[in-house]
Amino acid sequence: MKNTIKLLGIIAIIALVGFSVVSCDDPKDNATALALNTWSAEGNIPNLSAAHWFSFNVTTGTTYYFWAKDTWTLDLITSGDDDDYAWLALDLEYEDGTSIFKDKAPNSNTSASTSSTAAFFEATKTGKVYMKVYADKFWKKFGLYRIAVTSNTTRATGH
């Protein structure tokens, strides 16, 4: 009888853990849709463990560039106060989970960079892409940001 109660207790714990894992939400389910060629993604990264998810559609053969208004950008193009802005990193993946890149910095100059650290890619599939925006783990600077995705090498206009 004692062993039966132990066994039932273990089964109950396993079931509880299993149900809690199954019920975890995928953050991509709540991704905000982006419009291309405009400053349509903005927010505040409140800490180093926070991330925001965005999505947009891509076409095979088109190259996409990622731009930011963040600490790095403000240092380069303005003499303004950048204390409230994050230092960003991006992860990108196709809808099927295939990684496009991880931990890339958005372009921040007035023309796109094709360096190995700049965020751009040529789509090899047509469909939806998910973008994770978070504070760069090396610089450890969180705060405000604005992101634009363009299908050309020109920085988005506006903000």
Closest among 140, 64, 65, 50 to 110, alpha carbons compared: 65
Q: How would you label 25-41 residue by residue, b for 16+ Cβ within 10 Å and e otherwise?
A: eeebeebeebebbebbb
Collapsed DSSP state (helix, strand, coil) of residue 17: helix
The 10s digit of each residue's pLDDT in 62-86 is 999 888 775 444 444 444 455 677 7
Instruction: Identify the residue with better confidence: 93 or 88.
Output: 93
Query: Top-level CATH class of 27-150?
Result: mainly beta
The two beta strands, 143-150 and 63-69, are antiparallel
- The domain locations on the chain are 27-150
Q: Check: pTM over 0.75? Answer yes or no.
A: no
The 10s digit of each residue's pLDDT in 91-127 is 999 999 999 988 887 765 445 555 444 578 899 999 9
